[in-house]
Amino acid sequence: MKIGRKRKSTAEIPTSSMSDIAFLLIVFFMSTTKFDVKEGIKIVLPQAADESSQQAQVLTLTEKEMTRLQITSEGLISVNNETPRNYESGELDVLIQQKQKINPDMIFKIITDREAAYSNMIRVVDRLKAAKIEKISLSTN
């Protein structure tokens, strides 16, 4: 009499619920992850005006009413078309205070070269904000 051998069953991992588990893990990590929100410079911008009135207003401003701070691509600062030079933070603070003594309502126009480092413009804006200057104009070449 021939006795048949029993076949051993192979162990298997059930994969039917694997996709459910993966989906639940993805949902869990997405719902519990905290995303950092980068905040920019807090500047209150005025309402836009007509181009013709803006050009007329800019052309009528004198040196006693507006100070031009032009930042070159090398990071040098030119004040009212003077020769560009490197200003330290303390020198920049003294310059801002002098201009503010001349006219408390002084407008500071920051003109930044497109090739200049972003940090140079931020440094100037930070110095103006530290001096509590609210009238700041930003532009690029």
Predicted local distance difference test score (pLDDT) of residue 9: 73
Residue 50: the pLDDT is 63
> Per-residue pLDDT tens for 20-57?
888 999 999 988 988 777 776 666 666 666 655 555 45
Q: For residue 95, is it within any domain? A: yes
pLDDT at 27: 93
Residue 103: the pLDDT is: 84
Domain span at residue 131 reads 62-140
The answer as to whether 45 is a domain residue is no
> How many other C-beta atoms lie within 10 A of the C-beta of residue 102?
12
Report how many domains make up the chain.
1
- State which amino acid sits at residue 127: R
CATH number of the domain encompassing residue 133: 3.30.420.270
Chain length of the chain: 141
| 101 lies in some domain | yes
Would residue 107 count as lying in a domain? yes
Name residues of the chain where pLDDT drops below 70.
Answer: 1, 40-63, 140-141
pLDDT of res. 52: 57
Which residue pairs, CB below 8 angstroms and at least 24 apart, start in 96-103?
96/127, 96/128, 96/131, 96/133, 97/131, 99/67, 100/131, 100/133, 102/64, 103/64, 103/65
